[in-house]
Amino acid sequence: MQDIEKYRQAVDSLIEQIKTEFKDDVISIVVVGSWARGDFIPGQSDIDLNIVIKTGDSSEYEARIRTLANSIQKEYLSGFSNLKEEIIGTSVTTMNEIKSGNSHLGGGFVYYDFLNSSKILFGEDIRDQILSPSKEEVFASAQGCIEGILNKYNFMEELLKADIESARKHFSEREMAELAFAMFFRGSSIFLATKEIHISNKKQILEEITKGSYPDWMKHRLKMAYNYWIHWKEEDLSEEDVFDFLKMAYIYLKSLNSLIAS
């Protein structure tokens, strides 16, 4: 298991550099995802920071902060294996965008994920200033997100009938694992958002699906995925297992999409 303390040092150092570099421009720094939820896996997970600034060009700030993040990553996390090249991801939005409803933090089902599972690392708690979406907006964004994922990976239809050599043309072994877990758990979280249930923790998702009136295939497949995830936290899966798992995840996501549309 890789040293999580190095990740903490990297995050703390980046926050200090952002505060020094931008001083009074930064209103809040908020972390989401596994780092905020407490189920971060060193070497497997990444860190998603959202920086809220008073005003200005958010894309310009984002480019400058990403440069800082890349430098911090090289200093503290160089040599750490990880699924993604960018271990520390950064996004910037302005208070004007938040108050006008144009910030990515308030987009459809993402609003509740941000509201419920984010953690303030610096500055003000701006979450109560984000405009809440309507039920219709939540449903449409959730449905659109799953359809977007299926469209992006529509070549998986061919991989369902292919061998692992074909899969290697598109994914590394670890990328296959990451995508499979995302399809199972992110997909399930998005599906639950269409039912006005907003959770993103893997264990909570499994518990919700297990106790709810959902199809047996859904409960069975998600339980299997959770067991795979518990195993994967400690030890990599075999390439053959990962490929089969990815195919199951794709079929599972297609089935979720059909449930939403029905």
The pLDDT > 70 percentage for the chain reads 97
Mean pLDDT of 151-156: 95
Q: What local confidence, expressed as pLDDT, does residue 113 receive?
A: 82
CB 105 within 8 A of CB 114: yes
Number of neighbours of residue 207 by Cβ within 10 angstroms: 13
Q: What local confidence, expressed as pLDDT, does residue 223 receive?
A: 97
CB 62 within 8 A of CB 24: no
Q: Which residues of 57-83 are buried (b: 16+ CB within 10 A; e: fewer)?
A: ebeebbeebbebbeebbeebbeeeebb
Q: What local confidence, expressed as pLDDT, does residue 84 receive?
A: 57
How confident is residue 38, by pLDDT bands cut at 50, 70 and 90?
confident
For residues 225 and 131, the model is more confident at: 225
Mean pLDDT of 107-136: 90
Task: Give residue-wise pLDDT tens across range 186-217.
Answer: 999 999 999 999 988 899 999 999 999 999 99
Q: What global pTM score does this model have?
A: 0.83
Task: Give residue-wise pLDDT tens across range 137-152.
Answer: 999 999 999 999 999 9
The pLDDT > 90 percentage for the chain reads 62
For residues 85 and 88, the model is more confident at: 88
Q: What local confidence, expressed as pLDDT, does residue 237 receive?
A: 79
Task: Give residue-wise pLDDT tens across range 48-84.
Answer: 999 999 998 999 999 999 999 999 999 998 876 555 5
Mean pLDDT of 229-249: 88
Cα pseudo-dihedral 181, 33, 37, 105, rounded to 10 = -140
Determine the angle formed by the axes of helices 239-261 and 135-152, rounding to 10 degrees. Answer: 140
Q: What local confidence, expressed as pLDDT, does residue 1 receive?
A: 44
The token pair at 252 is 């599972």
Mean pLDDT of 87-111: 88
Planar angle of CA 182, 188, 191, nearest 5 degrees: 130
The token pair at 6 is 């190095």
> Alpha-carbon distance 126 to 50, whole Å?
11
The β-bridge relationship of strands 119-123 and 47-53 is unpaired
**Mean pLDDT for all residues in the chain:** 90
Q: Which of 30, 21, 107, 144 is nearest to 71 (CA)?
A: 21
Determine the angle formed by the axes of helices 239-261 and 173-181, rounding to 10 degrees. Answer: 30
Q: What local confidence, expressed as pLDDT, does residue 222 receive?
A: 97
pLDDT at 2 over 60: no
Q: Which residues of 225-241 are buried (b: 16+ CB within 10 A; e: fewer)?
A: bbebbeebeeeebebeb
